Amino acid sequence: MTETRLRSRKSPYPLWFFLPAAAVYGVLFVVPTVSSLWFSLTRWDLSSAEFIGLENFRQFFSEPFLVKGLVNTLIYALTTSGLKTICGLLLAVLLTGNIFARGFLRTLVFFPVLVSTIGIGIAFTVMMHPTKGIINAMLETLGIPGPGWLTNPALALFSVALVDLWKGVGLATLIFIAGLAAISPDYYEAARIDGATRFQQFWRITLPLVRPATITVITLSLIGGLRSFDLIWAMTRGGPGFSSDVIASVIYKQYQAGFYGLSTAGNVILFALIAIIILPLTVWLNRREVEQ
Protein backbone atom coordinates (compact mmCIF):
# COMPACT_ATOMS: atom_id res chain seq x y z
CA MET A 1 0.00 0.00 0.00
CA THR A 2 2.79 2.32 0.95
CA GLU A 3 4.46 1.57 -2.36
CA THR A 4 1.45 2.59 -4.46
CA ARG A 5 0.84 5.74 -2.51
CA LEU A 6 4.46 6.80 -2.89
CA ARG A 7 4.39 6.08 -6.58
CA SER A 8 1.10 7.81 -7.29
CA ARG A 9 2.49 10.99 -5.78
CA LYS A 10 5.72 12.55 -6.84
CA SER A 11 8.41 10.30 -5.39
CA PRO A 12 9.97 11.67 -2.21
CA TYR A 13 13.28 10.20 -3.39
CA PRO A 14 14.52 12.71 -5.96
CA LEU A 15 16.54 11.30 -8.81
CA TRP A 16 18.61 14.47 -8.95
CA PHE A 17 20.35 13.19 -5.82
CA PHE A 18 22.39 11.07 -8.22
CA LEU A 19 23.57 14.12 -10.15
CA PRO A 20 26.42 15.61 -8.09
CA ALA A 21 28.12 12.24 -7.65
CA ALA A 22 27.43 11.24 -11.25
CA ALA A 23 28.94 14.49 -12.53
CA VAL A 24 32.23 14.10 -10.65
CA TYR A 25 32.44 10.36 -11.25
CA GLY A 26 31.39 10.64 -14.89
CA VAL A 27 33.84 13.41 -15.77
CA LEU A 28 36.87 12.27 -13.78
CA PHE A 29 36.53 8.48 -13.89
CA VAL A 30 34.25 7.29 -16.69
CA VAL A 31 35.35 9.74 -19.40
CA PRO A 32 39.11 9.03 -18.95
CA THR A 33 38.46 5.29 -18.76
CA VAL A 34 36.45 5.26 -21.98
CA SER A 35 38.79 7.65 -23.79
CA SER A 36 41.78 5.54 -22.76
CA LEU A 37 40.51 2.93 -25.22
CA TRP A 38 41.00 5.49 -27.99
CA PHE A 39 44.25 7.05 -26.75
CA SER A 40 45.87 3.64 -26.39
CA LEU A 41 45.62 3.42 -30.19
CA THR A 42 47.48 6.69 -30.77
CA ARG A 43 50.86 8.33 -30.63
CA TRP A 44 49.98 11.03 -28.18
CA ASP A 45 51.65 14.12 -26.70
CA LEU A 46 48.63 15.34 -24.71
CA SER A 47 47.81 18.02 -27.29
CA SER A 48 47.58 16.02 -30.49
CA ALA A 49 46.95 12.32 -30.95
CA GLU A 50 47.88 10.46 -34.11
CA PHE A 51 46.06 7.18 -34.75
CA ILE A 52 48.51 4.30 -35.09
CA GLY A 53 46.23 1.31 -34.59
CA LEU A 54 47.52 -1.47 -32.41
CA GLU A 55 51.14 -0.29 -32.62
CA ASN A 56 51.36 0.48 -28.86
CA PHE A 57 50.13 -2.99 -27.99
CA ARG A 58 52.48 -4.58 -30.51
CA GLN A 59 55.35 -2.67 -28.93
CA PHE A 60 54.24 -3.57 -25.42
CA PHE A 61 54.20 -7.26 -26.16
CA SER A 62 57.44 -7.25 -28.16
CA GLU A 63 59.55 -5.47 -25.50
CA PRO A 64 60.83 -8.11 -23.06
CA PHE A 65 60.95 -5.67 -20.13
CA LEU A 66 57.33 -4.67 -20.66
CA VAL A 67 56.20 -8.28 -20.86
CA LYS A 68 58.24 -8.87 -17.72
CA GLY A 69 56.06 -6.26 -16.03
CA LEU A 70 52.97 -8.19 -17.04
CA VAL A 71 54.34 -11.51 -15.77
CA ASN A 72 55.53 -9.87 -12.54
CA THR A 73 52.09 -8.38 -11.97
CA LEU A 74 50.56 -11.86 -12.11
CA ILE A 75 53.25 -13.36 -9.87
CA TYR A 76 52.93 -10.52 -7.38
CA ALA A 77 49.13 -10.63 -7.26
CA LEU A 78 48.99 -14.41 -6.85
CA THR A 79 51.76 -14.46 -4.23
CA THR A 80 50.35 -11.67 -2.08
CA SER A 81 46.78 -12.89 -2.45
CA GLY A 82 47.66 -16.49 -1.59
CA LEU A 83 49.79 -15.53 1.39
CA LYS A 84 47.25 -13.05 2.73
CA THR A 85 44.45 -15.61 2.47
CA ILE A 86 46.39 -18.38 4.23
CA CYS A 87 48.08 -16.23 6.88
CA GLY A 88 44.92 -14.18 7.40
CA LEU A 89 42.82 -17.28 8.04
CA LEU A 90 45.37 -18.83 10.40
CA LEU A 91 45.79 -15.59 12.33
CA ALA A 92 42.01 -15.16 12.52
CA VAL A 93 41.56 -18.69 13.91
CA LEU A 94 44.29 -17.98 16.45
CA LEU A 95 42.85 -14.59 17.38
CA THR A 96 39.27 -15.81 17.82
CA GLY A 97 40.48 -18.65 20.02
CA ASN A 98 40.79 -18.39 23.75
CA ILE A 99 44.25 -16.89 23.98
CA PHE A 100 46.02 -14.44 26.21
CA ALA A 101 46.21 -10.76 25.10
CA ARG A 102 43.79 -11.38 22.22
CA GLY A 103 42.60 -7.79 21.82
CA PHE A 104 46.12 -6.44 21.90
CA LEU A 105 47.29 -8.97 19.31
CA ARG A 106 44.42 -8.07 16.98
CA THR A 107 45.38 -4.40 17.25
CA LEU A 108 49.01 -5.23 16.59
CA VAL A 109 48.29 -7.22 13.43
CA PHE A 110 45.84 -4.65 12.10
CA PHE A 111 47.75 -1.43 12.76
CA PRO A 112 50.12 -1.59 9.71
CA VAL A 113 47.03 -1.47 7.45
CA LEU A 114 46.52 2.13 8.53
CA VAL A 115 50.08 3.34 8.18
CA SER A 116 51.49 5.15 5.15
CA THR A 117 52.61 2.66 2.51
CA ILE A 118 55.49 4.92 1.52
CA GLY A 119 56.69 5.16 5.11
CA ILE A 120 56.54 1.39 5.51
CA GLY A 121 58.27 0.91 2.15
CA ILE A 122 61.17 3.18 3.05
CA ALA A 123 61.56 1.68 6.53
CA PHE A 124 61.69 -1.87 5.15
CA THR A 125 64.06 -0.85 2.37
CA VAL A 126 66.48 0.23 5.09
CA MET A 127 65.85 -2.87 7.21
CA MET A 128 66.40 -5.11 4.17
CA HIS A 129 69.78 -3.55 3.39
CA PRO A 130 72.07 -6.48 2.51
CA THR A 131 74.94 -5.59 4.86
CA LYS A 132 73.67 -2.97 7.30
CA GLY A 133 70.00 -3.96 7.53
CA ILE A 134 68.70 -5.31 10.85
CA ILE A 135 66.96 -8.25 9.19
CA ASN A 136 70.22 -9.68 7.94
CA ALA A 137 71.96 -8.70 11.18
CA MET A 138 69.38 -10.76 13.08
CA LEU A 139 69.72 -13.68 10.68
CA GLU A 140 73.49 -13.52 11.11
CA THR A 141 73.26 -13.91 14.88
CA LEU A 142 71.27 -17.08 14.17
CA GLY A 143 74.04 -18.19 11.83
CA ILE A 144 72.00 -17.78 8.65
CA PRO A 145 73.59 -15.75 5.85
CA GLY A 146 70.98 -13.16 4.85
CA PRO A 147 70.23 -12.67 1.15
CA GLY A 148 70.28 -9.37 -0.74
CA TRP A 149 66.54 -8.93 -0.31
CA LEU A 150 66.10 -6.04 -2.70
CA THR A 151 69.40 -6.20 -4.61
CA ASN A 152 69.05 -9.77 -5.87
CA PRO A 153 66.95 -9.64 -9.07
CA ALA A 154 65.51 -13.10 -8.41
CA LEU A 155 64.34 -12.05 -4.97
CA ALA A 156 63.35 -8.37 -5.13
CA LEU A 157 59.74 -8.89 -6.21
CA PHE A 158 59.14 -11.48 -3.51
CA SER A 159 60.76 -9.29 -0.85
CA VAL A 160 58.31 -6.53 -1.70
CA ALA A 161 55.49 -9.09 -1.67
CA LEU A 162 56.54 -10.10 1.87
CA VAL A 163 56.35 -6.49 3.02
CA ASP A 164 52.95 -6.24 1.33
CA LEU A 165 51.89 -9.29 3.34
CA TRP A 166 53.22 -7.69 6.53
CA LYS A 167 51.29 -4.51 5.83
CA GLY A 168 48.08 -6.03 4.49
CA VAL A 169 47.52 -9.26 6.40
CA GLY A 170 45.69 -7.34 9.13
CA LEU A 171 42.80 -6.53 6.80
CA ALA A 172 42.48 -10.16 5.69
CA THR A 173 42.59 -11.24 9.33
CA LEU A 174 39.88 -8.74 10.21
CA ILE A 175 37.57 -10.01 7.46
CA PHE A 176 38.16 -13.62 8.51
CA ILE A 177 37.51 -12.74 12.17
CA ALA A 178 34.15 -11.26 11.12
CA GLY A 179 33.45 -14.42 9.09
CA LEU A 180 34.41 -16.75 11.94
CA ALA A 181 32.23 -14.83 14.38
CA ALA A 182 29.21 -15.63 12.20
CA ILE A 183 29.68 -19.41 12.58
CA SER A 184 27.35 -20.85 15.21
CA PRO A 185 29.21 -22.57 18.10
CA ASP A 186 26.58 -25.36 17.94
CA TYR A 187 28.41 -26.93 14.99
CA TYR A 188 31.62 -27.22 16.98
CA GLU A 189 29.78 -28.62 19.99
CA ALA A 190 28.08 -31.27 17.87
CA ALA A 191 31.41 -32.14 16.27
CA ARG A 192 33.10 -32.47 19.66
CA ILE A 193 30.36 -34.80 20.85
CA ASP A 194 30.94 -36.89 17.72
CA GLY A 195 34.63 -36.97 18.61
CA ALA A 196 36.03 -34.85 15.80
CA THR A 197 39.62 -33.72 16.23
CA ARG A 198 40.52 -30.05 16.13
CA PHE A 199 41.94 -30.48 12.66
CA GLN A 200 38.74 -32.17 11.47
CA GLN A 201 36.71 -29.35 12.98
CA PHE A 202 38.80 -26.83 11.10
CA TRP A 203 38.67 -28.74 7.81
CA ARG A 204 35.00 -29.79 7.88
CA ILE A 205 33.32 -26.89 9.68
CA THR A 206 35.44 -23.75 9.75
CA LEU A 207 36.75 -23.85 6.21
CA PRO A 208 33.41 -24.42 4.41
CA LEU A 209 31.49 -21.99 6.61
CA VAL A 210 34.02 -19.19 6.39
CA ARG A 211 33.72 -19.33 2.60
CA PRO A 212 32.08 -15.91 2.06
CA ALA A 213 34.94 -14.25 3.95
CA THR A 214 37.46 -16.27 1.94
CA ILE A 215 35.88 -15.07 -1.31
CA THR A 216 36.06 -11.47 -0.11
CA VAL A 217 39.71 -11.78 0.92
CA ILE A 218 40.79 -13.50 -2.30
CA THR A 219 38.97 -11.02 -4.57
CA LEU A 220 40.12 -8.03 -2.55
CA SER A 221 43.77 -9.00 -2.36
CA LEU A 222 43.88 -10.04 -6.04
CA ILE A 223 42.52 -6.67 -7.15
CA GLY A 224 44.93 -4.91 -4.78
CA GLY A 225 47.85 -7.03 -5.97
CA LEU A 226 47.15 -6.47 -9.66
CA ARG A 227 46.92 -2.71 -9.14
CA SER A 228 49.75 -2.30 -6.66
CA PHE A 229 52.21 0.46 -7.29
CA ASP A 230 53.20 2.53 -4.26
CA LEU A 231 55.00 -0.12 -2.22
CA ILE A 232 56.95 -1.41 -5.21
CA TRP A 233 57.81 2.13 -6.25
CA ALA A 234 58.96 3.13 -2.76
CA MET A 235 61.11 0.02 -2.33
CA THR A 236 62.69 -0.83 -5.68
CA ARG A 237 61.42 1.56 -8.40
CA GLY A 238 60.92 -1.65 -10.39
CA GLY A 239 64.56 -2.67 -10.09
CA PRO A 240 67.17 -4.03 -9.99
CA GLY A 241 66.95 -3.76 -13.76
CA PHE A 242 63.31 -4.48 -14.53
CA SER A 243 63.14 -7.44 -12.16
CA SER A 244 60.37 -6.06 -9.96
CA ASP A 245 58.50 -3.96 -12.51
CA VAL A 246 54.73 -4.43 -12.58
CA ILE A 247 52.20 -2.98 -15.02
CA ALA A 248 51.45 -0.05 -12.72
CA SER A 249 55.13 0.91 -12.51
CA VAL A 250 55.51 0.45 -16.29
CA ILE A 251 52.58 2.85 -16.76
CA TYR A 252 54.31 5.40 -14.55
CA LYS A 253 57.71 5.01 -16.23
CA GLN A 254 56.25 5.36 -19.74
CA TYR A 255 54.29 8.40 -18.58
CA GLN A 256 57.46 9.97 -17.15
CA ALA A 257 59.31 9.25 -20.39
CA GLY A 258 56.58 11.02 -22.34
CA PHE A 259 55.22 7.93 -24.11
CA TYR A 260 51.61 8.76 -23.29
CA GLY A 261 50.04 6.43 -25.83
CA LEU A 262 52.15 3.50 -24.67
CA SER A 263 51.45 4.35 -21.03
CA THR A 264 47.71 4.38 -21.75
CA ALA A 265 48.01 1.07 -23.57
CA GLY A 266 49.55 -0.28 -20.36
CA ASN A 267 46.47 0.95 -18.54
CA VAL A 268 44.15 -0.79 -20.99
CA ILE A 269 46.14 -4.01 -20.56
CA LEU A 270 45.73 -3.66 -16.78
CA PHE A 271 41.95 -3.15 -17.20
CA ALA A 272 41.78 -6.25 -19.35
CA LEU A 273 43.87 -8.29 -16.91
CA ILE A 274 41.68 -7.32 -13.96
CA ALA A 275 38.48 -7.99 -15.90
CA ILE A 276 39.73 -11.35 -17.21
CA ILE A 277 40.73 -12.52 -13.74
CA ILE A 278 38.18 -10.97 -11.43
CA LEU A 279 34.91 -11.27 -13.38
CA PRO A 280 35.02 -15.05 -14.00
CA LEU A 281 36.38 -15.60 -10.50
CA THR A 282 33.48 -13.68 -8.96
CA VAL A 283 30.93 -15.57 -11.05
CA TRP A 284 32.55 -18.95 -10.33
CA LEU A 285 33.00 -18.40 -6.60
CA ASN A 286 29.46 -17.13 -6.19
CA ARG A 287 27.96 -20.00 -8.19
CA ARG A 288 29.73 -22.60 -6.05
CA GLU A 289 28.28 -20.85 -3.04
CA VAL A 290 24.74 -21.17 -4.38
CA GLU A 291 25.21 -24.86 -5.21
CA GLN A 292 26.16 -25.73 -1.65
Partner 1 sequence: MRQMRPYTSGAIALALATVIFVLPFVFIALQAVKSKSEASRLDFTLPEQWLFWDNLAAVFQARDYQLVLAYFNSTLITVVSVTILILFSAMVGYVMQRRRTRWNAVASGALFMGLMMPPAVVPTIGLLQEIGLFKTITGMILIQVAYNLSFSTLLYRSFISTIPRDLDEAALIDGAKPWQIFFRVILPLLKPVTVTNIVVQSIAIFNDFTNPLYYLPGKENVTVQLTLYNFQSMYTSQYNLLFMNILLVTVPPLIVFIFFNRQIVAGMTAGAVKG
Site residues for partner 1, window 54-93 (CB under 8 A)? none
CA torsion, ordered 196, 201, 204, 206, to nearest 10 deg: 160
Site string for partner 1, 186-215 (x = CB under 8 A): ------------------------------
Least distance between partner 1 and beta carbon 100 (Å)? 3
Member of 59, 151, 201, 216 binding partner 1 (CB under 8 A): 216
Least distance between partner 1 and beta carbon 8 (Å)? 13
| CA-based max dimension of the chain | 80
Please work out the total of residues on this chain that contact partner 1, with binding judged by CB under 8 A.
Answer: 86
Letter for the amino acid at 3? Answer: E
Is residue 13 at the binding interface for partner 1, with CB under 8 A as the rule? yes
**Which one, of 49, 50, 91, 76, lies nearest residue 224 by Cα?**
76
| Spatial CB neighbours of 68, under 8 Å, sequence gap ≥ 6 | 242, 243, 245
Member of 50, 54, 58, 107 binding partner 1 (CB under 8 A): 107
Member of 157, 175, 246, 250 binding partner 1 (CB under 8 A): 175
| Spatial CB neighbours of 59, under 8 Å, sequence gap ≥ 6 | 66, 262
Yes or no: say if 122 and 234 are a contact pair by the CB < 8 Å rule.
yes
109/155 with CB nearer partner 1:
109
Site string for partner 1, 27-46 (x = CB under 8 A): xxxxxxx-xx--x----x-x
Is residue 108 at the binding interface for partner 1, with CB under 8 A as the rule? yes
| Count of CB atoms situated within 10 Å of the CB of 191 | 16
